[in-house]
Amino acid sequence: MSKGYLMLETGETFEGDWIGSEQNISGEVVFNTSMTGYQEMMTDPSYAGQILTFCYPIIGNYGVNDEDEESKKLSVSAVIASDVCDDYSHYQATTSFSEELKAANIPGLKNVDTRSLVAAIRKHQTVHGVIVSEKDKEKFVSPLKRYDNMELVNRVAVKTPETYGSGSHHVVLVDFGYKKSILEALLAQNIKVTVVPYHTSMEKLDLLKPDGIVLSNGPGDPMELESYFPVIKELVEKYPTLGICLGHQLIALAYGGKTKKMPFGHRGGNHPVKDLLTGKVWMTSQNHGYVVEEESIDTNAFQVLFRNVNDRSLEGMKHVSKPIQSVQFHPEAHPGPSDTVYIFNDFIHQVITAAKEGTSAYVEA
């Protein structure tokens, strides 16, 4: 078993053993605190360009199956783990954690001191690093690659429209790197869903005659999608809309709001979020490194719906008069709690109501 090294730009080096594909690779080093769901995490398109550290000390014990992928391939650049169990035990499992990495040509390290690594990330906040082999450890001096957001979104978004399900109502999912569970949550509402590339023109979107729009999650800095803000604003002004994660940020930015990089992001399945209308606290699944600055939101246009209990960051908002709502967390979860799956029910209710009242943009008088 050959040695590998994670070298942070801040100077720390962490030794481990290679798993998956033995190749040098760089990226932002992030961590997720969830106890389960490593397969969903690795296939979540929002992790594109990132080296994912698993906080939970044992990874791989229930193997990898054919059901729990959140996209058609692994999205992470690399993974870092403490103890990796390849002697898996689960009735659905078809392969091991390490074999899944190898088949996808994704590198990783195991037997790493992940507690110390997470402490270093929390200390330095945003940290980039590179995984190298022992022979390259001393001579590696190349600058660490910073991925362009458009490169990441292009990598994970669909290239052509895809249609799923059937029903009397039609929702268009604008894809910046959507999770399969978002699509499944929509299909569970007995509707037709068309997934379209993020760069689809307004004219083509109108031709689809949607009853509603969902703006998906996705990787990277939302400000790098600035050229699409005008289309996004026109779209959400025209149709009932739900924004999730990156989609939430894009709605805020399209209306003149601001976003900022978080110290080390929210990634895990135990983030408490308070519903400001009811006072209830929901446990949520989250995966994001940027956040909308609440003070930048136009209160004449949007009402804050949710706020994070731990750091009081903005977690959701709705338009004061139009059927537009957005959430920073993932109501579909996977992995994580399903406390907030009701948000899909509320959205589809808005879609159906707008269609019945003839307020959907495509409905002819």
**Phi and psi of 112, rounded to 5°?**
-95, 145
Query: Which residues on neighbouring strands pair with residue 163, listed in sequence order?
Result: 194
Output the CA torsion 341→343→348→351 (10° steps).
Answer: -160
* Contact (CB, 8 A) for 312 and 276: no
203 is catalytic: no
Catalytic choice (70, 245, 271, 315)? 245
Computed on alpha carbons and rounded to an integer, the radius of gyration of the chain in Å comes to 21
| Omega cis (within 30) before 335 | yes
Cβ contacts of residue 194 below 8 Å, gap of 6+? Answer: 161, 162, 163, 164, 170, 171, 172, 173, 208, 210
Pairwise CA distance, residues 18 & 5, whole Å? 9
**Phi and psi of 235, rounded to 5°?**
-65, -50
332 is catalytic: yes
Catalytic choice (170, 288, 330, 334)? 330
169 is catalytic: no
Which of 80, 65, 20, 29 lies closest to 50, judged by CA?
29
Pairwise CA distance, residues 11 & 356, whole Å? 60
H or E stretch covering 334: none
Query: Which residues on neighbouring strands pair with residue 261, listed in sequence order?
Result: 290
Given CA atoms 224, 182, 121, 77 in this order, what sign does their dihedral have?
Answer: negative
The full DSSP string for 212-245 is EEEE---SS-GGGGGGGHHHHHHHHHHS-EEEET
Catalytic choice (28, 100, 315, 332)? 332
Pairwise CA distance, residues 195 & 174, whole Å? 6
Pairwise CA distance, residues 254 & 172, whole Å? 19
Question: Which are the catalytic amino acids?
Answer: 245, 330, 332
